[in-house]
Amino acid sequence: MSEPCLEHPTLSVLDEETEGSVEILQPTKDTMRASGMRRTISAMVSALGLLSACAPSVSSSVSPSPECPSSWGGKDPGDWVPSIGSGTPELLVPGTPQQADICIYDTKGLRGAAPRRLIDGLEQMATDLNHLPVVAASPSWRACTMIGSTPHSYLIRLRYSNGSVSWVGTAYDVNQCVVTTNGAFRTKSYVGDAVSAAYNAGRWSSLNPVNQCDPGRGRVGQDKQMVPKDAIGLTVCNFSATAPQKRAYGKDVAREISAKITAQPTRIDEGSCPIKATQSLLLVFRYAQGPPAAVTLWKKGCGMDNRFLRSNVPPTLSAELSGLLN
């Protein structure tokens, strides 16, 4: 047990020059003055040491933010973070991060070049990542052959105003067959190309496709219902290579059609359409924030799917959806 601190410590000062066996001489004024100065300095040093030992330890509630690990600690590309930290199972990016650094790892899992700090687009990145659907399995439309693929991983280190840290792990993969996770939330909606571009440029670009007939990367809620609520617009596109068509509608039509589609019973999309089945229509629902949600209508009685769920289409609904291009 350490000795208790004294309120008024008694200082024992030993002049280094009088320590041990020495010859005692009659002091002169100069030697007395020098000896007194040495004693004064020694007393001050001892007092400061005791005061430091007695002072209460001040522990900060903010721990230093960890740097990028020197190597990738996960078994699979993308599917790992050093710690869950502030991560939650509801959102990939919880709260409002103040800073984001992207760490890159090579195909052997070794840390590559220096981390790249985002200089623009942090708020957009949080919005985009937080609108990805929670999906554990790969959607049926994604062919995970891994042929010709050499995925390399990324870590996004998010720092908050209180000093806490959250991580997002993902990977770049030409087959798009990787997980993005914060340790508590996992999705297989692919963002590796966007993270790679952000690392190279230092800026995050929106995941919202410019082309209104682009189905996008999936939207939160699509694993639970065919069309997530609160759509503000709808673009209907056909797949004709010779005579492509599209027609855009506003909020009223978008919500009317989404209600009719969502009313149909659904099942998990396991890619059950025949190989020769062809796509008929693509319905892209737009939202005020985040990426679109797309529904594909198939020919040959294959119903419709949103790449996560599948549903049958009654003939009357099929005719109504086809008529949206007229």
What are the pLDDT digits (tens) for 266-300? 988 876 676 667 888 999 999 998 899 999 999 87
* pLDDT number for residue 28: 46
What are the Cα distances from residue 82, in Å, to 52, 109, 172, 240?
A: 36, 13, 18, 47
Which pLDDT value is given to residue 176?
Answer: 87
Residue 59 phi, psi dihedral angles, 5° rounding: -105, 125
Fill in the DSSP letter of residue 319.
H
Region 163-186: mean pLDDT is: 91
pLDDT for the residue 66: 57
- Quick one: what percent of the chain has pLDDT higher than 70? 74
CA distance 118 to 52: 42
Distance CA 43, CA 260 (A): 87
pTM over 0.85: no
Cα distance between the two ends of the chain = 87
Q: Residue 120 — φ and ψ, nearest 5°?
A: -160, 145
Nearest Cα to Cα of residue 283 among 222, 194, 241: 222
Q: Rounded CA gap, 196 and 213, in Å?
A: 24
Edge-first strand listing for the sheet containing 293-298: 246-249, 233-238, 279-286, 293-298, 304-305, 309-311, 266-268
What are the tens digits of pLDDT across the range 67-112? 899 999 999 999 999 988 777 888 899 999 999 999 999 989 999 8
Average pLDDT across the chain, whole number: 79
Q: Which of 36-50, 110-124, 128-142, 252-266 has the lowest mean pLDDT?
A: 36-50
CA atoms within 13 A on the CB side of 246: 14
